[in-house]
Amino acid sequence: MCIVNSMNIDELLAEAETGKRSAIVDRITDEARPFWQGCEERVIAGRQLKPYVVSRLLKENFNIKISESAVRHHFQNLVDPNE
């Protein structure tokens, strides 16, 4: 019996190369991408961002709803991908 997965082979291979797949990144629109990439760059550089503020700004300015905890987990995975 074959288990059907919603991910295709290319997605599986990409995850195998890069590690965890983040559903958050899929929700970031082209319009919001510069803001999001700026947030990620700051987190990687060791600057502390407030996940609740990032979540609020995404919703207010780009109409993207991502929970505070999802933002926090994504930022933690950027800093320590083994968690």
- Residue 33 resides in a domain: yes
**Which parts of 1-83 fold into alpha helices (H)?**
9-18, 23-27, 33-44, 51-62, 68-79
Domain count, the chain: 1
The pLDDT value given to residue 63: 96
Question: What is the reported pLDDT for 13?
Answer: 75
- Structural domain includes residue 2: no
Q: In the numeric block, which tokens belong to residue 80? A: 């320590």
Give the model's confidence band at 62: pLDDT under 50 very low, under 70 low, under 90 confident, else very high.
very high
Q: Distance (Å, rounded) from C-alpha 7 to C-alpha 29?
A: 20
pLDDT of residue 8 exceeding 60: yes
Decide if 64 is inside a domain: yes
CB atoms within 10 A of CB 16: 8
Question: Any residues with CB less than 8 A from the CB of 15 and at least 6 apart, and which?
Answer: 7, 21
Domain assignment present for 7:
no
> Is 36 among the domain residues?
yes
Domain span at residue 32 reads: 27-79
Q: What is the pTM for the complete model shown?
A: 0.72
